[in-house]
A and B are shown apart, each in its own frame.
Chain A
């Protein structure tokens, strides 16, 4: 008999191990395309860990948004680059202290967050979605669109502004470039394009030559 709790624990450690290994290989692999693929694997196994925690909406959103769209564009860009691998490795020792400091600060921040959560664990109570008897996705949707509607809309507005700003920053109007106007192309008047000319039939000078022509 396999204990479901034990199996879940084993799965959690397996997915976490894959996540950590993949995250390490992102910075250790020499080939940049391999590094991007390792990052994809990191996201994927993180999503698996989230699925174990029954946060299925977050997990699938991570795959759809990051793995399905962001990382594809990232891979797209990295594939186009012709990076010399020696150059990439050059600054490894020089930037190592800076990286370690950033890692340390992040570790302290995460530990602080875990500590705060642990202290509030009693006040936070059980999973509200499970208590309400609805799926995680439905509960998240209801919470976002009722309780947190205003912050959600503000975030959406900021994102829209960001998109417009990104387009405005990169948009260059070149002079002399030619464009097609699909509306004009569709809206043409066929009778002005082809003119049918009526002609009287004429007998050819050499019948054999004409036959050759019609045959081809």
Chain B
């Protein structure tokens, strides 16, 4: 009895804590890094007052948000208003359970992992829509509508990108997908090369899915103040913030796992310790993608709503549909070697 509880309850809980706690810390440091990077790109200093080099700025912000009052607007729907931040955060955290951090280093090694991820990322939009509706505010409702339309549109392109990956890998299991990218040629065995257009479409769709600049019409500070979370304050706002950044880091990890070989080394296996797979490789790849998010935000002006729709429906979806066919041909005629190593 005691051993069963230990194996089935305590250990999984400890594993979950071992993922969520570093994730929350990573979000805090990512916010600091974002403000620093954008500061440097604007030729400013960024936060530098709280702690050495301003490192404690994010924690100061968290404490400030937690101590503030959560204001319920007049005529807001109380139940949905408080439920919405949770609905945004829970799928963002739940999706992490199938991410393989290394060979056998995964919380839930499920066979339908890719489908599960698709399901979880598509649930996040409920938090945004309900926040917009329950706030009883015009700006919030406008932001929610924009976000819903955008997320639905880009989910299609994203789903078709995933189809290309699973056609080549022949598996829905994320660990198997990484194994399928192993080989003697290092980074030239990864899926980014045969699936180059899809790789680009996937990451841009990921930026759009997380409502980040230049696709941040759902927040659009200059048009609708802060969009769907305009009425939220204190810890409720902090939950939205956490969900958004957890999703950004998730998209970065996913792009690394699906297209850049996850924990595999970019160098051939014959190069000694440099050629060995490690969690650090995955971390480095995900960090590069996370940096791209910030770079985009500092570089591009916001897309207009009709431009976003045009890009999603008329450019990305045709590209991915064609590439599904190309990927099928690659697999059928054996143009790419899949899973020669490990």
Contact = CB atoms under 8 A, between A and B. Distances in A.
Interface of A: 1-2, 33-34, 37, 40, 56-57, 60-61, 63-64, 67-69, 72-73, 75-76, 79, 135, 137, 180, 182
A135 B122 contact: no
**Main DSSP-derived SS at the A contact region:** helix
Nearest to B120: A63
Interface string B147-171: 0110110010001000000000000
Contact of B125 (A1, A37, A72): A72
Contact of A64 (B119, B148, B306): B119
Contacts of B115: 56-57, 60-61, 64, 137
Task: Find the residue from A37, A57, A68, A73 having the highest chain B CB count within 10 A.
Answer: A68
How many chain B residues sit at the interface, stated as a range, is 20 to 34
Given A40-B126, A68-B119, A137 B112 contact: yes
Contacts of A37: 80, 130
A76 B144 CA distance: 9
A33 B133 contact: yes
Contacts of B159: 64
27 contacts: A1-B1, A2-B4, A33-B77, A34-B80, A37-B130, A40-B126, A60-B112, A60-B115, A60-B118, A63-B119, A64-B115, A64-B159, A67-B122, A68-B122, A68-B155, A69-B152, A72-B125, A72-B148, A72-B152, A73-B152, A75-B126, A75-B148, A76-B129, A79-B145, A135-B112, A137-B112, A182-B310
A79 B129 contact: yes
A181 to B, nearest CB: 11
Contacts of B149: 76
Interface string B171-189: 0100000000000000000
Contacts of A63: 119, 122-123
Interface of B: 1, 4, 77, 80, 111-112, 115-116, 118-119, 122-123, 125-126, 129-130, 133, 141, 144-145, 148-149, 151-152, 155, 159, 172, 306, 310
A69 B122 contact: yes
Contact of A67 (B77, B123, B148): B123
A137 B133 CA distance: 37
Contact of B133 (A56, A60, A73, A79): A79
B122 A137 contact: no
B5 to A, nearest CB: 9
A73 B129 CA distance: 10
A1 B4 contact: yes
Contacts of A2: 4
A75 B129 CA distance: 8
A60 B123 CA distance: 12
Given A68-B125, A69-B122, A72-B129, 7 more contacts: A34-B80, A40-B126, A60-B112, A61-B115, A64-B119, A69-B152, A137-B111
7 nearest A-B residue pairs (beta carbon): A68-B122, A63-B119, A60-B115, A135-B111, A64-B119, A79-B133, A56-B112
A21 to B, nearest CB: 16
A215 B206 CA distance: 44
B112 A76 contact: no
B159 to A, nearest CB: 8
Contacts of A61: 115
B123 A56 contact: no
Contacts of B77: 33
B185 to A, nearest CB: 28
A90 to B, nearest CB: 23
A60 B172 CA distance: 12
A75 B147 CA distance: 13
A56 B173 CA distance: 13
B112 A64 contact: no
A100 to B, nearest CB: 31
